[in-house]
């Protein structure tokens, strides 16, 4: 049996659920035996089961009804932002007057609750760091009062939840929405998104959604194209990349990795990062063009 049918996929999902409940692994050999399939097909199913949360990116989609301009940025890592690069981006944004502003994760660094070894005299207390992030968001809203602002949760924002889950899981429900409240997102009319989303035909991810360890930062677009299979933009890696992939039937995917807006961080003093941001322009059918901007020494390229 070699066909990857709907029936096989449903049976594979059921087997995976049962294995998870029993604390067992479900590898290629077991799938081959239980489903009577070949080794290549079993390998394909293991891959699909592992990454189905990304393969099924279908949580939120924003249609565009008229020509729309979007400003995208992420990885500011307040309080370690590169202030000059941030100001250059904001000056550029005032010129293009974006309809949508997407903050694509890691606005905050949450340095003091990092699982990495941290310098106790570097950075700020979490409360002070969040206050600085809130001040930035107030400035952004003041500059762009009519823009739709979307805040996508990155892995550094997730540090707050992980810290509580690890040390005081009984308090998890009491502090749900903590970051939303402290950043005053509702008051600022900023949408808080926790799952990948699409605007027009362009999927937006932070980049941490895929398990770490199975990528080469020289080939970010290549790696993520295997999981998403559509137009996408990611952040997280602090590196600027753009690549188009062509498939049979003359179908193509435009893919982008956007640079960061932070300065040096403790855990990567030697790096190949670039500061940058993105600008997407959509037509009424969701088609888009994308400018992947790099900021070097205060100059936009």
Q: What are 110-141's pLDDT values in tens digits?
A: 888 777 666 666 667 888 999 999 999 999 99
* Higher-confidence position of 58 and 183: 183
Contacts of 183 (CB under 8 A, 6+ apart): 130, 133, 134, 137, 151, 190
Closest CA to 227 of 36, 28, 2, 50: 50
Percent share of the chain, pLDDT over 90: 50
Please state the length of the chain: 301
* Higher-confidence position of 39 and 2: 39
Question: Over 70: is that where the pLDDT of 300 sits?
Answer: yes
**Global pTM value:** 0.79
Helix (H) or strand (E) holding 228: helix 220-228
Band (278; pLDDT cuts 50, 70, 90): very high
The pLDDT of 83-105, averaged and rounded, is 97
* Higher-confidence position of 226 and 260: 260
* Higher-confidence position of 212 and 65: 65
Band (4; pLDDT cuts 50, 70, 90): low
Percent share of the chain, pLDDT over 70: 90
The whole-number pLDDT of residue 1 equals 45
Question: Over 70: is that where the pLDDT of 65 sits?
Answer: yes
Contacts of 246 (CB under 8 A, 6+ apart): 252
* Higher-confidence position of 155 and 10: 155
The pLDDT of 195-219, averaged and rounded, is 83
Question: Over 60: is that where the pLDDT of 84 sits?
Answer: yes
Q: Which of 58-67, 172-181, 249-258 has the highest mean pLDDT?
A: 249-258
Question: Over 60: is that where the pLDDT of 290 sits?
Answer: yes
Rounded Cα–Cα distance for residues 120 and 117 (Å): 9
The whole-number pLDDT of residue 59 equals 57
Structure tokens at 159: 């540090």
Pairing of strands 232-234, 251-257: parallel
Q: Compute the mean pLDDT over every residue in the chain, rounded to the nearest whole number.
A: 87
């Amino acid at each position: 049996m070699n066909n990857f049918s709907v029936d096989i996929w449903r049976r594979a999902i059921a087997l995976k659920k049962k294995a998870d409940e029993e604390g067992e692994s479900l590898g290629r050999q077991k799938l081959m035996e239980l489903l009577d399939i070949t080794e290549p097909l079993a390998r394909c199913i293991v891959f699909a089961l592992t990454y189905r949360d990304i393969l099924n990116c279908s949580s939120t989609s924003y249609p565009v009804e008229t020509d729309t301009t979007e400003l995208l940025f992420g990885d500011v890592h307040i309080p370690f932002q590169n202030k000059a690069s941030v100001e250059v981006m904001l000056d550029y944004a005032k010129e293009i007057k974006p309809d949508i502003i997407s903050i694509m994760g890691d606005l905050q660094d949450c340095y003091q609750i990092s699982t990495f070894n941290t310098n106790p005299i570097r950075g700020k207390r979490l409360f002070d760091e969040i206050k600085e992030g809130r001040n930035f968001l107030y400035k952004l809203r003041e500059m762009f009062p009519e823009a739709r602002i979307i805040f996508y949760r990155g892995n550094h924002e997730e540090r707050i939840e992980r810290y509580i889950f690890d040390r005081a899981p009984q308090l998890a429900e009491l502090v749900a929405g903590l970051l939303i409240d402290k950043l005053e997102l509702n008051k600022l009319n900023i949408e808080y998104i926790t799952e990948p989303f699409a605007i027009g035909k362009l999927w937006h991810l932070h980049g941490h959604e895929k398990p770490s360890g199975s990528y080469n930062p020289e080939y970010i677009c290549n790696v993520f194209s295997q999981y998403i299979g559509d137009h996408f933009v990611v952040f997280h890696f602090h590196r600027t990349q753009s690549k188009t992939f062509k498939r049979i039937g003359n179908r193509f995917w435009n893919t982008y990795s956007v640079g960061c807006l932070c300065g040096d961080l403790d855990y990567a003093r030697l790096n190949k990062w670039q500061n940058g941001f993105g600008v997407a322009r959509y037509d009424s059918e969701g088609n888009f063009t994308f400018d992947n901007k790099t900021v070097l020494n205060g100059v936009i390229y």
